[in-house]
Structure 1
Amino acid sequence: MRARHTVHIQRPEPERSRLHPVGSTRKRSAAIDGLRVLGIVAIVAGHVWSDRSNDLARMGLYTWHVPVFFFLSGYLWAHDRSLGVEFGKRVRTLLVPYGAWLLLIGAVYGAYLWANAQTLHVGNVLLGGSYMGAPFFAFWFVTALFGACLLLRALQRFPVWLPWAIANAGLAVAYLAPAALTAVPFSLGVAVPAMIFILAGMLFRRIAPKLKKWVAVALLAGSAALVVTGLAHPLDMKQGDFGTPVISVMVASAISAGLVLLLERMFAATTPRAARFVTGAATIGLAVVFTHSAVILALSIIAGDLPSVLQFVIVLLVSWSLAYLVSRTPLGSVFTGAGAAPRIRRPGAG
């Protein structure tokens, strides 16, 4: 009787076997990869424009650009995977690139500071998470995602209500005492409430095939209205800020769900060449997440205060070009977390 009420026995739809994250040798969805690329572009844009105190950018981007990656982890969740397999996979795809870029960027930045009679705060860098400053702004996200996935995997043997209860308890702490979450190294405290988005993605995966085409528009339009009117404040998960209690989490999940539906429809008629390009960009996208803050910092040192649009374009081009070049080296998988090149599935393909 107990097994019927656990997360473990929730079976994915048949289509799930063709939707796998970075590094899989199975078929993967060009639409989901397109959403990954969109999310990475939004993260870069958020760091470019938020540094200029742009409230519009925070409203339009911070509400969803990080939650969507947790949501996709739930949407693609493999329910029959063991904790050991999950650990090994997440170490390879998340922690190994984390360590590689931490050492490389830390060495270069440390040398620059030393040449300018300054020192790198090694202790803060080693603690990760909210303790990190430039040029490590986005590193927290990777360890938080790692922690959230491992925690949920460890809980899948228990009744289905328990992960939801723990995630909501984490949200309560975030609303009442966010500093308690951010004080935990590597943003592992933030990982607990962030698990709510993985659970939302899992739930959405079960109902997505039954939804009509207009639902995507309704989800995105309704969410936009709540954000614009100020009823749903933006999230800043790194700082333990989950926005307006309950509403912002629901809006972030709704936007993520709406984008999944929208991109599945948009990519239904895409060409194989376009699908391969998008998937290629998504496969090396983690390297962009790690490096773009360093590129932003380097630009500010070299070129001063560039126009924001020009800075955004340069950061995207340099970060993705660097990721591509690194991916072509023998250490490509170390820095990108990607394994063998996957086969690509377009939405609607068999």
Structure 2
Amino acid sequence: MAAPAPRRPRSAALDAIRILGIIAIVSGHTWPEQRALHLTISLWQVPAFFLLAGYLWSGNRPLRGDVIHRSKALMRPYFAWLAIIGIPFVIWAWAERGQSPVRLAAGLLYGAQVGRPFSAYWFVAALFLTGVFVRACQLLPRMAVWALAVAGMIAAYLWGPTMAHTPYSVGLVLPCALFVLVGQELRKHRARIAHAELVGLILLAVSAVLVVTGAAAPFDVKYGDFGRPVVSVLAAIGIGVALILLAEYAIARLAPRVQQLITTLAAAGLVVLLAHAAVLYLTDTLAGWPLGLCFALALVVPWSLGVAINRTSLAPWLAGRAYAATLDSGERRPAVSHQT
């Protein structure tokens, strides 16, 4: 049997977008009522991850293999951290506050209902289910898949809150699939984009104008809110595509050590997504510490933990390694070579 073709290393540029998106998510959970912050990050912080999933898509993986792969990359860490954080939390909430363990456990199923310390769990589940859905549709005519995604987005504008209030946010799969499809199209035509940095700057500027003028209303995907029809979605796509083009231009010019640092941090990103809200719960909800300090700790503590975990045999269980690095592209290898 022929040896498999060598895989390309991870893209530090795309990893930089992941890091930026994670920081935006944590900041949004730290200051949820901050209007200026919400206006700045809401349109792109979640769609960017779905765009990246499409941009890195590999069309060669069968559905069964894809489900297994994504389960190991996303859902195994999801349930591991759910147990690590959830069991003590449910016991404490029952003992100290008299909250029903059954009700608390049931509440974890519903994306729009889940708050601290599980604020981003809906997103991880939605990312998993959306990827599986798009993979399951790969044998359908391309236009049929686009039609389903567009229909899902239209439905979200009509019944978004109801769709968001579903187990594991499954109701958000169709509208989120639209961003995955856009990412796939961007990859398909990427080589034809000349002066990508200029195109990225123009897209970012136009999207910023739409946001500042109020033409593009903010998103809150968790609650099924996709902003103003058409305009907000186009602005979100514009920002996401701009981030990819600008990151690919700028990050490639950084020193290799800096790029390796970016990749190392991104490889621990899932731990931050799953654990940061627990830190916020402890530092803000319980201790009442200043929000700036809470934000710093919610980034530093899980990220440090994630980097440390990736140096151990627990990495596949708690950080999705070595599966997350090859989640969307069959040609990419795990981020940190000394761990493979």
Distance 1:344 1:92 in 2: 16
Match of 2:111 in 1: 129
Please give the alpha-carbon distance, in whole angstroms, between the structure 2 residues aligned to 1:199 and 1:116.
Answer: 46
Pick aligned residue for 1:79 from 40, 59, 68: 59
Identity percentage over the alignment? 39
Instruction: Look up the match of 1:156.
Output: 138
Q: Which amino acid aligns with 2:146?
A: W
Q: Which amino acid aligns with 1:89?
A: H
CA contact (8 A) 2:165 2:171 kept: yes
Aligned to 1:313: 296
1:204-246: CA deviation from partner (whole Å, max 9, x where unpaired): 1122222223101001111111011111111111111111101
Q: Which residue of 1 aligns with 2:227?
A: 243
Q: Relative to structure 1, is the Cα distance of residues 214 and 26 closer, same or farther in structure 2, using a 3 angstrom cutoff?
A: closer
| C-alpha contact 1:83 1:153 (8 A) present in aligned 2 | yes
CA offsets, 1:34-83, max 9 Å, x none? 11111111111111121xx1111111111100000000000001012211
1:336-347, aligned counterparts within 5 Å?
Answer: 336-339=319-322, 342=333
Q: TM-score, normalised by structure 2?
A: 0.89
CA distance, structure 2, for counterparts of residue 183 and residue 139 of structure 1 = 13
* Residue in structure 2 matched with residue 328 of structure 1 by the alignment: 311
- Alignment partner of 1:186: what SS? coil
Aligned Cα RMSD in Å?
2.0
C-alpha deviation, 1:164, in angstroms? 0.7
* 1:54-133 pair list within 5 angstroms: 54-119=34-99, 120=101, 121-133=103-115
On the 8 A contact 1:31/1:263 being kept in 2, the answer is yes
Structure 2, unmatched stretches of 5+, are: 326-332
State the distance in 2 between where 1:106 and 1:123 align: 8
Selected match of 1:275 from 259, 269, 272: 259
Report the Cα offset of residue 180 of structure 1.
2.9
Match of 1:299 among 274, 278, 283: 283
The aligned residue for residue 29 of structure 2 is: 47
The whole-number CA distance in structure 1 between the counterparts of 2:292 and 2:239 is 25
Pair 343,117 (structure 1): closer, same or farther in 2 beyond 3 Å? closer
TM-score, L = length of structure 1: 0.86
Paired residues of 2:264 and 2:335 also in contact (CA < 8 A): no
What CA distance in whole angstroms lies between the structure 2 residues aligned with 1:189 and 1:26?
35
- Partner AA of 2:275 in structure 1: T
Q: How much has 1:271 moved relative to structure 2?
A: 1.6
- Equivalent position SS for 2:15: helix
How many angstroms does 1:29 deviate by? 0.7
Distance 1:75 1:284, change over 3 A: same
SS in 2 for 1:81: coil
Alpha-carbon separation, structure 2, partners of 1:207 and 1:116: 56
Q: Which residue of 1 aligns with 2:15?
A: 33
Query: 2:98 is aligned with what amino acid?
Result: Q
* Matching residue of 2:165: 183
Post-superposition CA distance 1:107-132 (Å, at most 9, x none): 12123324424334334344242232
Q: Which residue is 1:226 aligned to?
A: 210
